[in-house]
Structure 1
Amino acid sequence: MPIGSRPSHGPHGQEETDHMLDEMALLESSSLRASVAERDEVLDRVKELALSPDGLHATTKNVAAYFEVSENAIWAVIHDHRSELDANGYRVLSGEELTYFKQVCGIRSRSRSLGIFSRRAVLNIAMLLRDSIVARQVRMYLLDSERSHSAEPVDNLIHRLKEWIDTRITDALARHPVAPADADAVRIAEDIVRTTIGTAVVPALNTAIRNDGEQRARIEALEDEVTRLKRILRESEAAGSMGALDAMNSSQFEQHVAWLCRRDGCDPVMMTGGHGGTGADIVAYTPDGRRVVVQCRARTPAATITKGDVQRFIGMAKLDHADIALLVATCPFTRDALLLAGRHDMTAVHRGLLEAWHGGAKLQAFRN
């Protein structure tokens, strides 16, 4: 702006000032942010947001790239507003949940935790991140969208209501002329009617519109959850081949087998860690109280489980008072190993049976 010139007070200057005031309110007010949190479609109006292969979440790296800032800037926002972001879909995955997310998304990182953002949480970041041009553009679109979304129906209705009341008052006065002495009473009556509209009708309409928005948000959240579950189901079906299991290390394979036991109704399911391949890796209990002892062998498909492997496991399972003994392997069993397992009522979960179990079939040993 040239020295000596004044800020514009024309339509465009006033509009820009209003934008700045609204944006400051958005940055400072958590209740205002909550009122527009479901309008994540504005993200796509600025630029494309890269999501994880599940199609529903973005990592911290994705979010930083979207807003063209460092990951440290995103972490700083998370630190200051964690509870608000959690409410909008930010989560930190760890343990078994992280393992399966990495498998579904093909993530090779060895980190023990991973923050993921729903689209709603990314919009929340946009409403909090001050030093990002992209975040400010999102806020501008959001404010414009909210004005057209919420103001239009109320304004139109109030204008129609005001016109209807004015028409009725005019018609009534035309039909029933009043004396000059009654003019004050008429004016007071008109003021009462209009005041009542402003203090009772308008707030009621705003509340109704806000409640309607909340109901829509709940429905959309449910739809998002259904979409997420369908996508996970598709990914699980796609991983039904043994490729996903072959890519696991021993620890991951044990965690996966423990999850299969839980899926089929075992509770509790305890990871024991094994002892050099001679101890139980998992101990679980079926719903009817039977003790399940499991040993896991993550081997290449070219390897085999031998009669000696089975013999050692049978001895260990008896010492561990197993009602159900499972030797689970990613490779085939030799013929002698299968025969020995059958004679001692031990379940040999060989590569073919494991693939069926992983794909959703229930082991015969777990059935009553």
Structure 2
Amino acid sequence: MINETALLESKTLRDSVLERTDVLDKVKALSLLPDGMHVTTAMVAAYFEVAERAVNRMAQRHRDELTVNGLRILRGEELARFKGDTLSLYPESYPQPRSSLALWSRRAVLNAAMLLRDSEVARQVRTYLLDMEYLARTTHSVDNPAEAATQSLDDRIDQRITHILGKTVVPMFNALIETSGEHRKELIALRAGVQRVEQRLRQHHARLQRLESPHEGRPLPGVMASMDAMNGRTFEHHIAKLLRRDGCTNVVVQGGHGDRGVDIIALTADGRRLVVQCKRFAPYLNITSPDVQKFVGSAKVLYSAEVALYVATCPFTPEALSIAASGGITAVHRGLLEEWSAGAPLEILE
């Protein structure tokens, strides 16, 4: 099996897998601009969990390759049209660029995953791509292609491991070793090689399960992408739906003019007064300490809340988290929101 670092070195190999843009959301949800097709450099950096300057350096080194795969630099009239048609829809979430704006297609983002050396997310994307390539090569010779297409990936790997290696090849070598004298050492060496292959396949299987399963520390793909596409009001109603799912009652969405800094009021399942502030911001922005301070006043003074949630589609600054903790506010940051939306309950509501 080709090592994942090969993608860093071989443009030919990168080109061969660029159609598999769906793996981006399988590894981690990729947020898009309101046009539903592009991301900015800041959003690329947020996805790969690296500094924006690291993405810019990589883009400068590989500009020709990335341009072929959808990287565009908007300037002048083209930039003005994009700002007016797209970014102006959500002025709070997407800061307006000055003289130029880099737009990345999903294909260009996948290309970036095969060029960023120091991103753990990019490494996972490369690993997933090569797992798929390996699986395609090892299953192309099945007798019934139609049946193979309907089998799950895990079923095919399990069948290959269990029936070919575990129940056929290794026992055969055991029998030959018992009855052979002259070639005993060679057979033992061959058996060891087969057992190494079996172990590698098991590791491969486990890795695929981690990548495919929503229950192994990573929620369902697309959860955050769908929320990033919502407007503020739709997002508030989405949070209200999660509250009802977790047993809250008397849930009222009141976000808007005159809400006094609280978007949702409710009662928890055990009767405690609950208030929620909802912020649908771009994932590369942050909730700051002044934001949380204002909510502390609204939640505790104006509403006398016993449970207060500040729910955001972006991270909180360390100072904001500290103020939230001292003020009795539960900060539901982007990662926690993803888990909550995918089915995990919030501890404060239990």
Sort the TM-score into its range (normalised by shorter chain): 0.3 to 0.5
For normalisation by structure 1, the TM-score amounts to 0.36
Higher share in helix:
1
Higher relative contact order (CA 8 A, sep 6+): 2
Q: Which has the larger radius of gyration?
A: 1
